Amino acid sequence: EKQIGMLADSSETGGVIRIPSTWKNGRIDYVPVDDWVSGFFAGTLWYMYELTGDEAWAARARKHTEILDSVQYLQWHHDVGFMVYDSYGNGLRLKNIPGYEDVIVQTAKSLATRFRPVPGVIQSWDADRGWQGERGWQCPVIIDNMMNLELLFNAAIYSSDSSFYKIAVSHADRTMEEHFRPDGSCYHVIDYSIKDGKVRHRQTAQGYADESIWSRGQAWAIYGYAVCYRETKDRKYLDQALKTFTMMKNLKNMPEDLIPYWDMSAPNIPNEPRDVSTASCIASALYEISTMDVPDAAGYKMYADSIMVSLSSPAYRAALGTNGNFLLMHSVGSIPHNSEIDVPLNYADYYYLEALKRKRDIEKGL
């Protein structure tokens, strides 16, 4: 509470709400509302409310959520699911605030504009802008996109418009066919032909190599397919989540403290940066999986508990007043882009708090 309280204080100075994303070279980085990580701090504040019951956190969370109002109309990238579901989605779940359902439905409409019916997927990135525009892609889809489907499933319920559900299922199915290798690990980027829907390339953007195991991508797959199972009850999605998790768990180079390297195929392991954001996302997913109809549910919870013990130790959890007042140290944004290497990241904190909340609920029998 103290650490996140200080981070929230410093992001609210001068009557302006800013969005802290990371801390590097002694300074907090703040992002604009259209950045893919813009919803995580609001979501962190909602989890602070849920974990403490203190209404002051809810009031703060609401302010940080509502600065994201314009995201519901954003159509130039796919990350609106992360941005709006972590903020408005949690606000709706916890406080049923009037208007939040409408924001989620409008966001789903914006995301649906990126659905490409021939390949049957949501296009993640535009192919004609930024560094992505230099790769020669037509319809790039990244595994991260699995995390945007939760918003679509829920928008289908709020709006009674089943097209959002159908888009989510189509995306999840095609991704399951094309993104995964026989061992359960996944590629980062699949580029589809817009004309005939065939795969043009299987590549990476943020991993070490096209054929490598970029850790956060595996976390997005595990978490994303667990959500697909929750929302559809189609067992194949849970099987995919478990297969990818089991692959990660059995990697011989997985460190004893269970905090993965940024890429499990990186050449200098064990002298490669860890990625705490991967660990916290996997822990949160495993807590949910441990409540599902799976053999050895307790084993998934135990694995998540072990991750949380590591993350909560001084090796990863920052001392009060350090680390720019983020909770966790040692995450990686993108090594190929020389960006955010061995720093705190707001999404590592977000999934850590979500995992803590899920752990608490399971242990209280909620």
Active site positions, annotated: 79, 144
- The nearer residue to ligand GLY, 124 or 154, going by C-beta atoms, is 124
Residue 29 is inside which H or E element, if any?
Answer: strand 27-31
CB of 206 to ligand GLY, least distance (A): 6
Would you state the structure tokens that stand for residue 190, as one six-digit string? 């699949």
Among 144, 263, 288, 305, binds ligand GLY (CB under 6 A): 144
Q: Which residue is nearest to ligand GLY (CB)?
A: 144
**Contact 250/244 with Cβ under 8 angstroms?**
no
Using DSSP's 3-state secondary structure scheme, residue 267 falls into: coil
Closer by beta carbon to ligand GLY, 90 or else 206: 206
Q: How far is the CB of 43 from ligand GLY (least distance, A)?
A: 15
DSSP string, 103-155: HHHHHHHHHHTTEETTTTEE--B-SSSTGGGGTT-SEEEEGGGGGGHHHHHHH
Which 3 state secondary structure label does DSSP give 200? strand
The distance of closest approach from Cβ of residue 145 to ligand GLY in the complex, given in angstroms and rounded to an integer, is 9
Residues 6 or more apart whose CB falls under 8 angstroms from that of 193 comprise: 118, 119, 138, 139, 199, 200
Size of the site for ligand GLY (CB under 6 A): 5
Amino acid at 219: A
> Distance of CA 144 to CAs 124, 185, 188, 357, Å?
9, 14, 8, 23
Does residue 216 touch ligand GLY according to CB under 6 A? yes
- Determine, following the binding rule CB under 6 A, whether residue 65 of this chain makes contact with ligand GLY: no
Contact between 263 and ligand GLY by CB under 6 A: the answer reads no
Which of 44, 106, 203, 206 lies at the binding interface for ligand GLY (CB under 6 A)? 206
Is residue 36 close enough to count as binding ligand GLY by CB under 6 A?
Answer: yes
Query: Minimum Å distance from CB 222 to ligand GLY?
Result: 13
351 contributes a contact to ligand GLY by CB under 6 A: no
Residues in touch with ligand GLY (CB under 6 A): 36, 144, 206, 216, 333
